[in-house]
Amino acid sequence: MLRRTILVMLVAAMVIGLVASCAPKATPTPTPKPAEPTKAPPTKPPEPGKTYKVALVISLLGDRSFLDSAARGIGWAQERLANVETKIIENADVGEQQLAARAMAEAGYDLIITVGFGSADWTSEIATEYPDTHFALVDATLDVPNGTGLIFKEHDGSFTVGMAAAMLTKTGKVGFVGGMDVPLLRRFQEGYIQGVKYADPNVEVVSGWVGAWGDPTKGKELALTQYEEGADIIYAAAGKSGEGVLAASAEKGLFSMGVDSDQCYIAPGNVICSMMKMVDVSVFDAIKSLSEGTLEAGNRVYGLENDAVGLCYLYDIDTEFLDNGPADMAAKMTNEVIPAVKAAVQRIKAGEMCVKDHMEIYPCDNPAQPGGMGM
Amino acid sequence: MDTTVLLDILQRYVFNVANLQGMLRLSTPIVLAGLCALITSRAGILNIAGEGMILFGAWFAVAGSYFAENALVGVAAAMLSGAVIGGLFALFSLRFRAHIIIMGIAINIFANAATIFLTRAVFKQAGAFAAPRIQGLNPIALPIIKDIPILGEVLSGYSLIVYLTWILVALTTLFLYRTPWGLHLRAVGENPQAAETLGINVPRIRFAAVMASGVYASLAGVYLSLGHLKMYTDQMAAGRGYIGMAVNTFGGGEPIGVFLASTLFGLVDTIGWRLQGERIMPVYFISMLPYVATLVALTVFTLRQQRAKRAALANNAEEE
């Protein structure tokens, strides 16, 4: 049995290796694969004529949220950067993602991007084995000399949508639906609650965890439970399960908030806003630095300060709700919520207040106080 | 904790209308998956392909509804897909003697990959497919029943599949115990050799049972994609095919048992969500309960069977 497993894995690795070695031919770049001198330290200047090869190793796309955002970053790089060629490898199975990452490193890729806090261990392990390849990891830190962690201040972003929820609720109760009860999602939840309380300490928050990322049926039922308890706005940070929350808001004629990507179009008029987490920007930036020869090891932090998280209206990204939502709420959004959130963002940027981080990675000495907005 | 507090908690978290509605909605796909497992297990077949059959059902329901702009066409397409997949499963495992577990795993993996591929190939979408053209199965208010206070709220206002499921539970019971075909099916499951000597066509009964299981499972898929959400997402079966097997065991292989066990699974989810906010007890403890109950039921069931067998042996020895 064991022997057969090993055999199967070997064959799989060979097939992936074969595919990997064939694929780059598809690009129009005439330069043959440069015979690279042995070492490629991360900070050397860009070689003229070199084509940088980038692979994104990711779970199955199509969540219209977090994962798709990463893939979008790759798409931008392919379009806008002339000396970069990209490849996306989707695999639902984490074991196969590891095989794929290894195969890409073997195939001489310059940058391999992996996704998710759960990938931290194996990414740093593989990075140690392939010191000539640079690795980037979305959502967790990487502490290897050839690794870059792309991390986000989700608590800051969730704070801004929390403010919007508190200002727009008519029942005095808002909801939060998370995918799984893990530290990263607690960061979303606690940031959201702080935002709600900052805008209006009397607004109550009910929270729930679906227990799965890919079960919209349960997501919808959980949302219906929260609506029944009196919440009228629910912030969904639950991957594909979140689709169920958005569907529930459309069915009930109530409201929801999306996450990571712009999700307003999914149920226009019911999805008030999305908490943007610009994984696309971070991925594109990393590739751009690579192509300019300036990609360094260490972690890159994305937050309000570099316009990478927060209420979508901060960045004029989606405005479907203003046209399709109830007129009074749309007007309140334009006249009160957006200015208030912008003011709060200014205070956070200026260091006058901060949002407490559940994971305590970012220190916070003067947290935003409940009622601090002073309405 | 004194009794009044406990009663208050029970009323707030367990026996309120919204909770019971949620329970019935969530248990519907599980009941159908359970019936899928039941009909094959009563014919003496271990069918683990329910998960894949649900996925196909969910996909073809959305596809049928999208292309015909009619939900009932979606239901028909899904049931047809269930019968076809069930037929293929039966063909390979019963006729061509492929190992039934391996074959079940193969169907599940194939269904997973095929639905992902089909979504991309047919709808040019990855991961999730929703479109205004997809007609869902809208909630139906039952006449007369809907006017009964409280009970009306709990029993009325669901999509077609929910009512169909309740009817199927009754019909399956009638079929098993009140029809010659049902008798044959049970005979085949309990003692195939004896059934064969009585002139029952064992392979044909088993073939039919597997095809029927496919139809049950596909209805579970229809419920997920058209009855509840009006969209298809990859892997939306989310393990319900396997939970169906647990429910079948827990329910003792009886349709009504399957129904009650499924409502327990549904209830635990809805209670769990309500308790999450309150922090009365850890949520994961509650989510664990139906599985623990299944294990206990399985253990008790096996022990009782063993004791009966031993008693029978002892009786035989005495008679000799």
Same domain, yes or no: A246 and A368? yes
Question: Measured between alpha carbons, how far is residue B312 from residues B157, B189, B203 in Å?
Answer: 51, 20, 30
Q: Which residue has the tokens 């949220």?
A: A65
Do residue B130 and residue A208 have CB atoms under 8 angstroms apart? no
Q: What share of chain B is helix, strand, coil (3-state, %, to 5)?
A: 80, 0, 20
Residue to mutate among A60, A217, A243, with most B CBs inside 10 A, is A217
Minimal C-alpha gap between B301 and chain A (Å): 30
- Write the CATH number for B44: 1.10.3470
Please give the pLDDT value at position B280.
62
Q: Which residues in chain B are closer than 8 Å to A214, comparing Cβ atoms?
A: 233-236, 238
Residue to mutate among B226, B262, B273, B276, with most A CBs inside 10 A, is B273
Minimal C-alpha gap between B87 and chain A (Å): 28
B232, containing H or E segment: strand B232-233
Report residue A273: phi and psi, to 5°: -165, 175
Q: Are B269 and B26 in contact (CB under 8 A)?
A: yes
Same domain, yes or no: A96 and A225? no
Closest CA to B260 of B180, B192, B166: B166
Same domain, yes or no: A160 and A117? no
Domain span holding position A159: 154-277+310-374
Of B22, B125, B229, the CB nearest to A62: B125
**Partner B contacted by A266 (CB < 8 A):** yes
Same domain, yes or no: A335 and A257? yes
Mean pLDDT by 10 residues, chain A (375 residues): 54 48 38 39 61 91 86 91 90 89 92 91 92 92 91 93 94 93 90 94 91 88 90 93 92 92 86 92 92 88 90 83 88 90 91 88 85 74
State the sign of the Cα–Cα–Cα–Cα dihedral A41, A47, A51, A54.
positive
The β-bridge relationship of strands A111-115 and A84-90 is unpaired
With respect to residue A28, please indicate whether it lies within any of the assigned structural domains: no
Same domain, yes or no: A45 and A58? yes
Please give the pLDDT value at position A296.
86
Same domain, yes or no: A142 and A283? yes
With respect to residue B9, please indicate whether it lies within any of the assigned structural domains: no
**Partner B contacted by A240 (CB < 8 A):** yes
Question: Measured between alpha carbons, how far is residue B74 from residues B57, B78, B100, B230 in Å?
Answer: 9, 6, 29, 11
SS3 assignment, position B158: strand
Same domain, yes or no: A87 and A177? no
Q: Which residue of A has its CA nearest to B130?
A: A266
Q: Which residue of B has its CA nearest to A62?
A: B127
Same domain, yes or no: A166 and A205? yes
Write the pLDDT tens digit of every residue in B269-292.
Answer: 887 777 776 556 666 777 777 778
Do residue A228 and residue B18 have CB atoms under 8 angstroms apart? yes
Q: Which residues in chain A are closer than 8 Å to B277, comparing Cβ atoms?
A: 206-208
Closest CA to A226 of A176, A272, A261, A274: A176
Q: Which residues in chain A are closer than 8 Å to B274, comparing Cβ atoms?
A: 225, 229
Minimal C-alpha gap between B228 and chain A (Å): 7
- Cα end-to-end span (Å), chain A: 68
State the sign of the Cα–Cα–Cα–Cα dihedral A130, A133, A138, A139.
positive
Which value, to the nearest 10 degrees, does the dihedral of the CA atoms of residues A271, A273, A278, A281 take? 100
**Partner A contacted by B125 (CB < 8 A):** yes
**Structure token pair of residue A148:** 């870059």
In single-letter form, the type of residue at position B191 comes to N
Please give the pLDDT value at position A54.
93
Do residue B18 and residue A208 have CB atoms under 8 angstroms apart? no
Domain count, chain A: 2
Domain span holding position B94: 14-319
Same domain, yes or no: A141 and A163? no
Sheet containing A233-237: order of strands: A204-209, A173-178, A233-237, A255-260, A271-277, A309-311
With respect to residue A55, please indicate whether it lies within any of the assigned structural domains: yes
With respect to residue A8, please indicate whether it lies within any of the assigned structural domains: no
Minimal C-alpha gap between A365 and chain B (Å): 28
Q: Which residue of A has its CA nearest to B274?
A: A225
- Cα end-to-end span (Å), chain B: 59
With respect to residue A18, please indicate whether it lies within any of the assigned structural domains: no
Please give the pLDDT value at position A73.
92
Please give the pLDDT value at position A22.
41
Domain count, chain B: 1
- Report ipTM (2 d.p.): 0.82
Minimal C-alpha gap between B304 and chain A (Å): 35
With respect to residue A369, please indicate whether it lies within any of the assigned structural domains: yes
With respect to residue A257, please indicate whether it lies within any of the assigned structural domains: yes
With respect to residue B189, please indicate whether it lies within any of the assigned structural domains: yes
3-state secondary structure chain A: CHHHHHHHHHHHHHHHHHHHHHHHHHCCCCCCCCCCCCCCCCCCCCCCCCCEEEEEEECCCCCCCHHHHHHHHHHHHHHHCCCEEEEEEECCCHHHHHHHHHHHHHCCCCEEEEECHHHHHHHHHHHHHCCCCEEEEECCCCCCCCEEEEEECHHHHHHHHHHHHHHHCCCCEEEEEECCCCHHHHHHHHHHHHHHHHHCCCCEEEEEECCCCCCHHHHHHHHHHHHHCCCCEEEEECCCHHHHHHHHHHHHCCEEEEEECCCHHHCCCCEEEEEEECHHHHHHHHHHHHHHCCCCCEEEEECHHHCCEEEHHHHCCCCHHHHHCCHHHHHHHHHHHHHHHHHHHHHHHCCCCECCCCCCCCCCCCECCCCCCCC
DSSP 8-state symbol, B140: B
B174, containing H or E segment: helix B160-178
With respect to residue B8, please indicate whether it lies within any of the assigned structural domains: no
Do residue A225 and residue B29 have CB atoms under 8 angstroms apart? no
Same domain, yes or no: A343 and A264? yes
With respect to residue B90, please indicate whether it lies within any of the assigned structural domains: yes
- Write the CATH number for A119: 3.40.50.2300
Same domain, yes or no: A242 and A362? yes
With respect to residue B188, please indicate whether it lies within any of the assigned structural domains: yes
Mean pLDDT score of chain B, rounded to an integer? 87
A vs B: CB pairs below 8 A: 87
**Structure token pair of residue A113:** 């991007």
Do residue A221 and residue B22 have CB atoms under 8 angstroms apart? yes
With respect to residue B3, please indicate whether it lies within any of the assigned structural domains: no
What is d(CA B160, CA B141) in angstroms, rounded to the nearest whole number? 10
Write the pLDDT tens digit of every residue in B195-239.
Answer: 989 889 999 999 999 999 999 999 999 999 998 888 898 888 888
What is d(CA B198, CA A121) in angstroms, rounded to the nearest whole number? 62
Question: Measured between alpha carbons, how far is residue B150 from residues A204, B109, B123, B315 in Å?
Answer: 28, 44, 43, 53
Write the pLDDT tens digit of every residue in B135-168.
Answer: 888 888 888 888 888 788 888 888 899 999 999 9
What is d(CA A122, CA A138) in angstroms, rounded to the nearest whole number? 13
**Partner A contacted by B230 (CB < 8 A):** yes
With respect to residue A32, please indicate whether it lies within any of the assigned structural domains: no
Q: How would residue B11 be classed by pLDDT, with cut points 50, 70 and 90?
A: confident
Same domain, yes or no: A240 and A362? yes
Of A63, A229, A247, the CB nearest to B231: A247
Write the pLDDT tens digit of every residue in B94-137.
Answer: 889 889 999 999 999 999 999 999 998 998 888 888 888 888 88
